[in-house]
Structure 1
């Protein structure tokens, strides 16, 4: 379409910079308070419905909660707060956090967050396709990170799962914030550009504000920035980086055309091709939990 005839052209140049500056400024202000925002509407609906069942077993609660990035992060924050943190090491995964908090508190906390999400989810309806794709990407990354941890390292697979699950929480948050601007609601390409440029740094700040363990926060830094993968997978950051590539990286959920077998991404996918079927299977099983 000719830009001169488009009533809602995407912003460029100084206009885009001004919009970006205002959005980032607003995000910085909000991060100083209590941060709650919706991720995937369908996930929040099903989570709310499930947790209203007083007879839900702990195994089911753990499975459901592990699929919702913000709820998972909030439960980790609560478990490692001064009120609940036990002497010694902090809780580094959801299993430990749920064990520390107890079933009733987990149910109440998760339900409260889900309800607050649902109250705001209409604001993100225009981005529903992106949020669903991003949620699916997060599940695949989490599955891949857990498998890699089990096969290639001595890192707790559940800690790797959590890191993979929340690695793109900054993108969810930016979608929520973009929905607050009427001009961005009708300019999805501008929103995608902003997410590509800022979701990593915003995510690190967000996870820190939510009180996530330092190991998890550090593992998400620059996860979309291409770099050489070490011969030996050693760190949580390696697991998130490789898992993110195997799950499609940001190109997939932003619907950009790219060759997954080209360049460094292709090298990584070829090197770890043997786990791709298991990653897909595990991700589908996680999705089925909330079916």
Structure 2
């Protein structure tokens, strides 16, 4: 099977809803579904978090980061961390755990390296999106954080399948891989019950330009991708700002503000990041 046939096979499967998740992903999905219920009792949420040691550790770490602590005293247990974070932010951490699980069945060293780079890109975009939403675009920061975490879920899914199709994600000058990632990503997000506004924004990422002034979730993700210090190893780089962009963006994002956003995002990224494949 050549590369184009392999892409077609994976896209056809995805279009039928035939998407295979690792067993570990299905377990995290059950946790996500429980947290989707706003009436989920706090004790149940804490018990679910404690059942996933990585999630428990990162919940406490993120609750103690400067971005989320609000200057309060450090928390030392999951109950205090969940109370401080709230369910919406906790859902973003669950999403990050879910994305991590796609790496669990990657065996090829080259693919594992790509998955690790994609994870570093993802955590940087998510952290920047949260800070940019707070300080620049005015969109909901928690939604921006969640969208940043899952915006490359199609790429993670393809990486998790690429062991089956040698050469699938090698250089792709005709960009069939990007088309495949877009279609597969859409279907994966549907299966994960990603809200429509988030799904729409992510779906437009590859072809959209930043509005001036930036004010939407899509603008937030575009800016976060522009300023992410680690590029995605899949597809092409995001489109550069238009020629007038430097002067236009200065009205809402000058060098001083950008520097502070980067510092804030760096700490958030460290709290939620760490190696993908452990």
- Tell me the TM-score normalized by structure 1: 0.60
Helix, strand or coil: the match of 1:264?
coil
Partner of residue 225, structure 1: 207
CA change 1:277–1:109 in 2 (3 A) is: closer
- Of residues 43, 47, 53, the one that matches 1:104 is 47
Q: Does 1:284 align with 2:270?
A: yes
Q: CA separation in 2, counterparts of 1:256 and 1:204? A: 16
Helix, strand or coil: the match of 2:143?
helix
Shift of 1:129: 1.2
Shift of 1:221: 1.4
Shift of 1:261: 10
Partner of residue 79, structure 1: 35
- Of residues 212, 221, 232, the one that matches 1:253 is 232
CA change 1:77–1:202 in 2 (3 A) is: farther
Q: CA separation in 1, counterparts of 2:199 and 2:220? A: 13
Shift of 1:150: 0.8
Kept in 2: contact 1:38–1:176 (CA 8 A):
no
Partner of residue 131, structure 2: 147
After superposition, what is the alpha-carbon deviation per residue over 1:52-101, rounded to whole angstroms, capped at 9, x for unaligned? xxxxxxxxxxxxxxxxxx98776444433xxx454xxxxxxxxxx89595
Helix, strand or coil: the match of 1:253?
coil
Q: CA separation in 1, counterparts of 2:54 and 2:267? A: 28
Q: Does 1:212 align with 2:194?
A: yes
- Of residues 11, 26, 40, the one that matches 2:13 is 26
Q: CA separation in 1, counterparts of 2:184 and 2:161? A: 12
Q: CA separation in 1, counterparts of 2:267 and 2:223? A: 17
Q: Which runs of no fewer than 5 residues in structure 2 stay unpaired?
A: 56-96
Partner of residue 48, structure 1: none
Kept in 2: contact 1:124–1:179 (CA 8 A):
yes
Alignment of 1:1-291 (within 5 A): 15-29=2-16, 31-32=17-18, 35-36=21-22, 75-80=31-36, 84=37, 86=39, 102-108=45-51, 117=101, 120-123=104-107, 125-181=109-165, 183-184=166-167, 188-190=170-172, 193-227=175-209, 229-247=210-228, 252-254=231-233, 263-264=241-242, 267=245, 271=250, 272=253, 273=255, 274=258, 275-287=261-273
Q: CA separation in 2, counterparts of 1:126 and 1:108? A: 31
Helix, strand or coil: the match of 1:188?
coil
